[in-house]
Structure 1
């Protein structure tokens, strides 16, 4: 899954481990053999520390209790992945976009029942039948903008911005009538970011920073820029070697949050406390969630309901994945919202979802 079919951050997070198995702050207080078991998960996830790798973190009620990194953040310089390494979390950014819309709904600035056409200057006819809830839950029937741009001959190696994506979406007709079925499309969240900008009159990144990152003390940034201080380089495996992978595309809303694994699990505690958004936002995360059926089968997630930028599992836990430019991330929150796990990688790592499951099992019991 790229940022497509999947579902900001200055460096400076205190490094707690350079190699897998070195515990982060508070880990020893947890007791037991959790640190060593977690270290083993990382060694299995990244067998060789000489190539690209992953960072992982576990949060308990807002505190990072374990974090580690293994592998190289930059093969050219030999810079190692540590807990301070920044990654593009790709589609795991969608939860911030959905929560921004829920925040505005709670302030009566918009309604999830509003048609998309309300927020467009010259809306196509079909936009009058698509609601914000359809966009949030991926039931709009709108084609993914990445496919639309590529149909026009715009490759991921060519420059393309937010307006290019929106223009391509509005010029095409949806594949299905709205509300009929779940169909994951990044177009939905690019359009939701546009809605936030139209309602607030400010750049989407500035709104998210003011309303979420700053109040929660999160060292994150929403930026589609490739070069972010402390960020890992991303790679594709090709012919037995690793090739740098980057794109000049600059869309946001569907992705573009830059952060560390540790900051991501710190953010997760808002799903427990409702510190930003209160009970109304927390209720909105799962309200109206729609069944994904077997759409995501084969991607590590076989069932669940898609809520506000996250998948709600049958046991009540939350999960999402993200993939873009060689970056891959898995984010999970326990059913009781007390424990969260993030695994972020800078090359394809097919076991990162399984690693997140194992870490959550180790630390939530």
Structure 2
């Protein structure tokens, strides 16, 4: 699940202060869970001298455990800590989907609306693709990353939201829309466009206004930005590491910048519905479509894709994110009381397994 993220200029000073603020204190119990969790981190990141990972566990909106191991920046020796910011990559999709659900709850759009209703000069095929198809990856629209690269635009070349939208709308679905699951980042770039078209507000500003600020989350949507406290991502080969970065500036499919702890704090909205209410919560899993074993190579079990998250057979929510060499795993327990995030700035041995182990430690 590849991903990216433009610095939100509106309220920039507030965002900087939020991202560099002090996190709430731990609420860990007097047992061995912290020790066992630390052991998971040591196994995930055997050496603290190279890139590494941060992880956090939340219970009912409170961070109960968090840790960081490895280096956020090899050039300066800055360590990864619970305050280190990462690009959450495709784990940003849940915010895009929830923005659409929020607007649906306000009767400003509907999931069965055709994409064509939100375009100035719609191609004929856009009448056959609904917003629900985009949200659940059943549109069969090619991935814009492949489309741009086919035009000779490399990930090391500048490319923004408009370039991605132009490439998407110049293509067409590869199969009949609505006939099955096919993961494509194009779907969520289009959904961000729809939100902007309906609200007249930039998508980063909309997320800040409707989600981040009301929930007191230290987050920002900022593609290709040097966010304060952010880790550098690295390609690794034979024990040596090279920084990996891209000037691509698309959003909707990724680009939320935050800490592991803040993402598990966000997860409590799946329990409370504080933003969006029951209607949004119902929309998260309602109409979810089966994915078969399409995502199994990424370490994700068979399940159903809903609103920017995969719903596993036991009712838990999960998603992976990968962009540059940021890798994030997010999981919420079936009862929605416990959430875990593991995020790394180089390819981890098995971040998904680590997330599962941490969730087991804190739910049993």
Superposition TM-score tier, normalisation by shorter sequence: over 0.9
2:62 and 2:242 mapped to 1: Cα distance? 36
Q: Which residue of 1 aligns with 2:292?
A: 293
Give the equivalent residue in structure 2 for 1:78. Answer: 77
Instruction: Write the distance in 2 (CA, Å) between the matches of 1:161 and 1:55.
Output: 29
Distance 2:103 2:225 in 1: 30
Q: Who is 1:3 aligned against?
A: 3
Secondary structure of the structure 1 residue equivalent to 2:297: coil
Query: Can you list the C-alpha shifts for 1:144-166, whole angstroms capped at 9, x where unaligned?
Result: 00000000000000000001001
Q: Does 1:14 align with 2:15?
A: no
Alpha-carbon contact 1:316-1:335 (below 8 Å) kept: yes
* Cα shift at 1:301: 1.1
Check conservation: 2:301, 2:312, Cα contact below 8 A: no
**Residues 19-58 of structure 1: matches in 2 within 5 Å?**
25-27=26-28, 30-58=29-57
SS at match of 2:139: coil
Matching residue of 1:358: 357
1:93-126 C-alpha deviation (Å, 9 max, x unpaired): 0000000000000000000000000000011110
Whether contact under 8 Å (2:2, 2:185) holds in the other structure is: no
Q: Report if aligned partners of 2:73, 2:231 keep a CA contact under 8 Å in 1.
A: yes
Query: Counterparts of 1:103-122 in structure 2 under 5 Å?
Result: 103-122=102-121
Residue 207 (structure 2) pairs with residue 208 (structure 1): yes
> In the alignment, is the contact (CA less than 8 A) between 1:67 and 1:262 conserved in 2?
yes
- Give 1:64's aligned residue: 63
Give TM-score, length-normalised by structure 2: 0.95
Paired residues of 1:116 and 1:132 also in contact (CA < 8 A): yes
CA distance in 2, matches of 1:302, 1:362: 20
CA distance in 1, matches of 2:215, 2:23: 20
The SS at the match of 2:201 is coil
User: Do the aligned partners of 2:3 and 2:255 also contact (CA within 8 Å) in 1?
Assistant: no
Distance 2:23 2:76 in 1: 19
Give, in angstroms, the shift of residue 13 of structure 1.
4.4
Q: Specify the SS of the correspondent of 1:298.
A: helix
* Superposition deviation, residue 2 in structure 1: 2.8
Please, which runs of 5 or more residues in structure 1 have no aligned partner?
A: 17-23
Q: Normalising to structure 1: TM-score of the pair? A: 0.95
Whether contact under 8 Å (2:318, 2:331) holds in the other structure is yes
| Structural mapping, 1:211-360, within 5 Å | 211-360=210-359
Q: Per-residue CA shift, 1:61-118, capped at 9, x if unaligned?
A: 0000000000000000000000000000000000000000000000000000000000
Per the alignment, residue 96 of structure 1 pairs with 95
User: Partner residue of 1:170?
Assistant: 169
Deviating 4+ runs (over 4 angstroms): none
Alignment: residue pair count: 353
The alpha-carbon distance between structure 1 residues 350 and 124, as it changes in their structure 2 partners (threshold 3 A), is farther
Q: Deviation per CA, 1:300-323: give whole Å up to 9, x if none.
A: 113000000000010000000000
CA–CA separation in structure 1 for the residues paired with 2:104 and 2:27: 37
* Mapped partners of 1:325, 1:79: distance in 2: 20
Matched with 1:138 is: 137
C-alpha distance in structure 2 between counterparts of 1:3 and 1:83, whole Å: 22
2:12 paired residue number: none
Distance of 1:102 and 1:273 partners within structure 2: 15
1:32 shift after superposition? 1.7
1: CA distance, partners of 2:251 / 2:353: 28
- Return the offset for 1:299: 1.4
How far apart, in 2, do the equivalents of 1:15 and 1:338 lie? 20
- CA shift at 1:15, angstroms? 6.1
Task: Kindly report the root-mean-square deviation, in angstroms, between the aligned alpha carbons of the 2 structures.
Answer: 1.3
